[in-house]
Amino acid sequence: MQFHVLSHLEYTVKFPSNLILNIHAQRNSGQTILEENFTVSPNVKTEEFLLDNGTNRLIRLQTGDEKKLVIDYAATVECAFDVIPAGEMDIATIGDLDPAAIPFLFPSRYCQSDRLGRLAWDLFGKIPKPYDKVNAIVDWIHNSVEYVRGSTDSATSAYDTITQRTGVCRDFAHLGIALCRALNIPSRYVSAYAYQLDPPDFHAVFECHLGGRWIVFDATRLAPLNGLVRIGVSRDASDAAVASIFGQVQGTAMKVDCQLVPGQTFTPLERKHLLRRGISLESNHAAATD
């Protein structure tokens, strides 16, 4: 499948400042950038750099003096995914785990898995299969936490959400990650453009390392799992912000969109269609699945 994605950001700069933007679609085995355009108006100094072994594409931008800044990103992205049967999603023991997944076992700013251990084991510890464990977590979050726009802020973490039980996509993802890590399942945060997300916005989901693959989950159930165009993967939102601001800059407008390229077909795959199958957005055979 091919998607057109775009984001449009406006800022008021009060003082020479720096921004780090994370809005570019990833390049990876499941995601090919067919066409891409990034503009800043007026023109200021920008530079792209990669983090996390090349996974995440970031832009740093020096605003210069007081001004209005308009940032536009648009891309056409070819996306593939693999559907994985339940039987192939066992969790590796720590001894067999891909070392690159190990950092995603540890607690992070918004995912205090170290403080959720007993609760996680009580609720989900007896479920034998790891994929079923994660699905039970996702279902439990979906049923226990209410999606309420504006109910949380940038200080809200999984330790709050487990009790306060409201939040937005970021909070749903953080709670999922924290509960999985508490059960020794490597888990990471994914920011994405999301097809059929309504209203359109940046979306956040999470991935668990099961059977050697990163399998994607979304406790909000607000968008199909196979309609995600990944932007950043990280420990949690602390290092996947759309814009990290260093200085005096005020966001004034934002527009995000994700559309299917005309002529392409799309069959949504959500939790209810997948049952005990999983989706990996890092396709091993990109050509075969689009």
CB of 12 to its own copies, least distance (A): 19
Task: Give least dist CB 264 to its own copies, A.
Answer: 35
| Distance between start and end Cα atoms, the chain | 5
* Smallest distance, its own copies to C-beta of residue 27, A: 17
Comparing CB distances to its own copies, the nearer of 58 and 75 is 58
How far apart, in Å, are the Cα atoms of 170 and each of 34, 136, 167, 189, 275? 28, 19, 8, 9, 24
CB of 233 to its own copies, least distance (A): 13
Instruction: Compute the residue count for the chain.
Output: 290
Which residues, including other chains, have CB under 8 Å from residue 60's CB and lie 6 or more apart?
Answer: 18, 19, 20, 21, 46, 47, 49
Output the CA–CA distances (angstroms, integers) from residue 42 to 14, 46, 52, 61, 71, in the order listed: 15, 12, 30, 12, 9
Nearer to its own copies, 33 or 97 (CB): 97
Which class for 48: exposed (0-12), middle (13-18), buried (19 or more C-beta within 10 A)?
A: exposed
Nearer CB in complex with its own copies: 92/254: 92
Query: Please, which residue, 152 or 226, has the CB nearer to its own copies?
Result: 152
CB 215 to its own copies: min, Å: 20
Cβ proximity to its own copies: between 60 and 277 the closer is 60
Residue type, 210: L
Q: Give the nearest distance from C-beta 52 to its own copies in angstroms.
A: 8
**Binding interface with its own copies (CB under 8 A):** 18, 20, 45, 47, 49-51, 58, 60-62, 93-95, 99, 102-103, 105-109, 112, 114-116, 118-119, 122, 144, 146, 154-155, 159, 162-166, 184, 238-239, 244, 246
Q: Which is nearer to its own copies, 144 or 284 (CB)?
A: 144
Rounded Cα–Cα distance for residues 141 and 190 (Å)? 17
**Alpha helix ranges (H) inside 126-256:** 130-144, 158-164, 169-182
Structure tokens at 217: 């989950």
